[in-house]
Amino acid sequence: RLKRDSVSRSSADLSSQVLADTDRSKMPQVYLRQADGSLTLADAPPPGWQAVTQTPQMSMVQSMPARMPTTSAPQMVTSMPASRVTPGSYVAGAGPAAMVTSRQFRPSFVAAPGAPVYKAAAPTPKAAEKPLTPAPMPVKAMEILLVRPEVPAPLDPNFAPLILAKRNYLAKVKGTTQFLEWALPRADGCARYKLPVFDESNEYVEASIYLAGVLIQEMIWQRSAAALFLAGPRKICEALKAAYSIGGAYEFEARQMPMVCGTPNSPFAVFVTKPEQLPPAKDTPQVCGKDADGCRLAFDLGKSDIKTVAVMDNQVVYSKETEWDVTNPDPEYHYTAIMKALSIAKDALPKVDAIGGSATGTVSGKNEATWCDIFPNVPPDVYKAKVVNIFNRMAKDLAGDVPLKVINDGEVTALAAVQKIGKGNVLGISMGSSEGGGYADADGNLLGWINEMCYIKLDLNPEAPTDPWSKGAHRGLSHMYLGQRGATKLAAKAGVKVPENYVYPHPDMCTIKHEDHAQCLKLIQKAMSDPSQEPTVKQLYVTVGVYLGYALAQYSEFYNIEHVMILGRVSKGKGGDIMLDTAKHVLETEFPQYSNIQFHTADDHFKAVGQCIAAAALPSIMDPKLKAVWPVYQKKMEAEGCSTAAIEAFKYNLGVLVSGADVMIPETRLDPVKSLPVYENLQVKPDASLLKKTLILKLNGGLGTGMGLDKAKSLLPVTNGNSFLDLIAKQVDSMKKEFRTDLKFMLMNSFSTSKDTLDALRKYKDLGTGSDLEFVQNKAPKVTASDFSPAGWPADKSCEWCPPGHGDLYPAMLGSGTLDKLLAQGYKYMFVSNSDNLGATMDLKILAHFATTGAPFMMEVAERTDADKKGGHLAMDKKTKGLLLRESAQCPDADEKEFQNVSKYKFFNTNNLWVDLVALKAQFKKHDGALPLPVMKNAKTVDPRDKESTKVLQLETAMGAAIQCFEGASALVIPRSRFAPVKTTNDLLALRSDAYVLTEDFRIQLAPERNGVPPDVKLDGAYKFVDAMDSMIPNGPPSLIACKKLVVEGKVTFAAGVTIKGTVTIKNSGASKEVPAGVYEDKTLDL
C-alpha cells in the first residue's frame, strides 16, 4: 500500500508514469512514478492538465497491468506509461474510492463516484541529457605531465603515455612534505593509495590535482568503488570531490559505479576526512576451481557471439559459437538465446555437475551480472529486475542446484594462461572488440578486482580520441588503443584502402557497434599480407605495439606481472608479431625493470579448448557427502552472523570429517627433528626499529572452566595484586617507554571474555580500544556424531555451538578484517602467545632472528621432559621434509609409546608463535580462504552438563599446526623461562610462590635458583577449582623455591612460614588439617 509518509514531495515531469492511488484518503492528490521507479506525491497534476467533472460517458485511458490477476477484489492501477496518456484522455486521481474493477480483464477502468478526474495535456518532449565532455588539462599540468615517449608511435606522434607523466611528476615533486591519500571501498574490499603532492601555494598544484584524478579513475576501473574517501591538503581534496561529483570531470564514473557495484540506488559519494580515518586496504581473493572433472557446461558471452561447450573430465566433447545481437533491449531475448545454446550443449552430457561461464563486464562473487556491457540497451530498471540475476536463474532452470561460477572474460583468459604456462602472476589481455583484461596471482587465483582495463586512461594527449562507451567523457581510454579500434582508427593513416565511412573519425566509426570495425580490421590484415602495402601497414602495428608496451609498464605499477598472454583478433598474423616485438622494445628501452616480462600467444588448441576448460573448471564440485549436509550448516552459520572466513574454515573441517579421511598422524609418516637453532646461541643483534611493524597478540578466549571460573582466566590474580591482564598491559607500557616507540598490542577474545576483559583494561588508556584492541574468536556448530547433521538442543541453543580451537586465530583475523587492516597499516610481523603464559614476552633478539631468516612462520619450542611426554611434539614430515606438529589426539594408540619417547621427539610447542602477516595472507589466497589445518575430533555431549544428551563431535584445530602450511617454516629452542602457562591450580600455586619472581619490566620468570626448571606440583582433586585452592593457602603459598616436587593428598591448609624442599608428599585422610610452619625436605608428611 502507498502511504503518504513513505514517498517524497516533489514536482514531476510528463515523462513520469502515473499511478492511480487506492488509498481512501480524501486529499485530491496524484502519485507519479518517476523514470527511475521511485514515487513522488504531487498536490496537483502536472502543468497543463485540467481538472474536469466526472461523467459516465468518459472513456478512461487503458491502464490495466499486462498480467491482471482474476479476482473479485478491486485492484489498483499499478502503472501507466506516459506514452499512453494521449492528449484528451482522462486519468482518475486519488479520491474517496478511486479503484479499478477487475472481476474480469478489461482494457479500461471505471473511476468511482467522487474521484477527481484530470484531462491530459499534450506531453512535452523530455529534455535531452547533457552530453559529457572531457575536462581540459590545465596549462601548468601540461608542463609536467605531457612527456614524449623515447620509443615514438609512428602514426600517433602526440601519444603521451600516462606512465611517463607519472614518472616525471614524481621526480618533480620529490622532497615534498605534502601527501594526498585516498581510499576506494567496495563490498568485499578497499583500495588505498598515497600520492606526494605540491603545496597548495605551488604553481604546479594543478598537476597534482589532475594526476590524482586520473590515478583514482584508474584504480576505480581496476577494482570498482562504492565511494571515494580523500585525505590531504584541503584545496586538492575539494577539487577532487567536485571532479567526482555529478557535473564534474568524472561524472561518468560517479554515475557508473553504483551500477558496477550492483547498488544502483546508492549514489557514489565523496568524503573528505583525516588520513587515520581512511578505511584500510583490503582484498578478497576470488578462488576458482582449476580442475574440470565430472560433467560440466561452460559459456562465454562475447559482444558478437555466445560460445558454449560441454566438458567431461577435462575433455571438450562439444563446442559451438552462436551469433546474437547484444543491442537487443529485451532481456528475454538474451535469456532465450543463451538457454537455447546451452541446452544443445547439455544434450552432449549424461548429467550436469557444474556450470562455469564468462562475460564481458562486471560479475559479482554471487554470479550477479551487476554491470555487463553485453546488455547495453536494456533499460536500467529492467536490467535490475531481469538481468542482474540472469546467470543464477539460467543455471537453476537448466540444471537445478548445481555449482555455478561466472567471472569476467578477461579473467578466464588469465586462468587459462596459468594452466597453459604452468606459472602464476599472469596478465591476460584480449585485444578484440575492446580490451579485455584479467590477472591471476602467483597461486593462480584472482584478486577479486573487476579489471575493466578498457576504461583506464593510457594517453594524456589533450587531443586524444574519445570513445562511445564513456559517452565522450574522457580522452585516451584504452578502448581506443588496445582493442580493434586502436588499429582501425589508424587504418587510413597507414595507407589501407578502406571505404569512406571506415575512415576515422567518420560517425560510423564512433558508435558502440563493432561490425564496421571488424570489417575494417579484415581490410588491414589483408593489406598486411600484401608485400606492396606491408611497409606502410607495418607502421600501424608498430604504433599499437608502442601503446601496448607503455600500457604494460603502467599496469605493472599495480600488478606483479611475470607473464602476459595476448589474445584477440588484433594480435593475429605477422602484424601481431610486430606488435609484440615493439612492446618488448618499449620495455627494454624505457622500463628495464619490466623487461623480464615474458610474452605468450595462443595456439589453436588454446583458443579452441584452453579457455573453455578454464571456464568449465571455475566452480568446485562439492564432495557428495559434504553436499548432503552442508546447506543446513551454511544456513545456520549465516543466520548466526558468522563471517565468510569462519564459514569457509568450518566447511573445510566438516569436509575432512565427512570424507572419512584419516586425521591421525602415524609414526610411519614422521622423522624426529635432529637439531634446531638455540636461543642462547643466536648471533643476531636486537633491532628495536622492528617493533614499529610488529603486533603482540594474546589469545584470551578461555574462561578457565576447568578451574571453576566463569570469567576470563586472565583476570585471575597472580602476584602483588596483579592479574594476568594487568601484567601484560604493564609489560607493553614498559617496552614503549624503554624503546620510545609505539607498540601494537591486541587480544583475541571470545564472546564470553570480551566484555570483562575490555572493562578490566579500560584503566590502561594507551593500550587501545574497540577493534584496535581486540577481535573476537569465531564459533562453530557442534556435529551430531551419528549422522554428521547439525546438533540441536532447543532447551539451550548456546549448547549447539562450540569454540573451534585456537587454530581459529587465522580465520578470525581474516574474517574480522584485522589482518587486512594490519597489513594496510604497515605491520608485517606478529608474535602470538597465550594470555596465561607470562613468560611469553616480546624479545627483541627473537624478533630480529625471525626477521633476518625471512621465515614465514616460526614456532618457539622447548625441550621435553617426562612431565611433558603426554603433550604434543614437533616432528618432520618424511614426504615434504617440512616441520609439523603432532598432538596426542592425532596419535594412533599403537604409536603412543613412541609419542611419549622424549629422547626421540625432543621438542614440544610452547604456543609462542611468530607469523609473517604477508605470508599468512598469501596462504589464505593459496588455499581458497581456509588454511588446511589438521582437524581434531573432540567427542562430547551436546549439553556438557547432561551426559545422556546427544553425542556430538567438536571439530577443532591448533594454531601451531599451521607450521605445516608454510614452506620454509622454522622453529627455535627457547629457555624454559619463556614457558610458564597456567592450565591448572597446580600451575597457579607454583606461579604465586617464590619459585617465580616479578621483574622490573613486569615479567614473571623462574627464580635464578630454579635453573630454568619449575617445581612439579600435584594437588588433591579437592583443590581443582581456584576458590578451593585459595582456601588451602589462607596465609599465602608455601615457599617452593627449593622444591622439586610437592604432592598433596587429602584436605589441608598451609600455615604461614611453610617451606618445601626437594620432594615432599603431604597426606591427610580425614577432615582438613593444617600443615604447621616449618621446613619439610624430601619426606612424606602424614597428618
Q: How far apart are the first and last CA of the chain?
A: 84
Where does 424-532 show beta strands of DSSP type E? 426-431, 435-440
What distance in Å separates the CA atoms of residue 1009 and residue 938, rounded to the nearest whole number? 40
Secondary structure (3-state) at 1026: helix
> pLDDT band for position 738 (50/70/90)?
confident
757 Cβ partners below 8 Å, 6+ apart? 700, 712, 714, 715, 725, 747, 749, 774
Q: Is 225 exposed, middle or buried (0-12, 13-18, 19+ CB in 10 A)?
A: buried
pLDDT in tens, 943-979: 988 999 999 999 999 999 999 999 999 999 999 888 8
Higher pLDDT, residue 821 or 90? 821
> For residues 843-878, b (16+ Cβ closer than 10 Å) or e, as one string?
bbebbbbbbeeebbbbbbbbebeeebeeebbbbbee
Q: What is the pLDDT of residue 720?
A: 84
pTM over 0.75: no
Residue 369 confidence (pLDDT) above 80: yes
pLDDT tier for residue 752 given thresholds of 50, 70 and 90 = confident
598 contacts 563 by C-beta, under 8 angstroms: yes
pLDDT of residue 420: 84
pLDDT at 990: 94
Residue 1065 pairs in a beta bridge with: 1047, 1084
1065: pLDDT strictly greater than 50:
yes
Q: Which of 430-439, 442-451, 1059-1068 has the highest mean pLDDT?
A: 1059-1068
Angle at alpha carbon of residue 788, lines to 787 and 794, rounded to 5°? 95
Instruction: Report whether pLDDT(784) > 90.
Output: yes
3-state SS record for 818-838: HHHHHHHCCCCEEEEEECCCC
- Segment of 64-73, 593-602, 1039-1048 carrying the highest mean pLDDT: 1039-1048
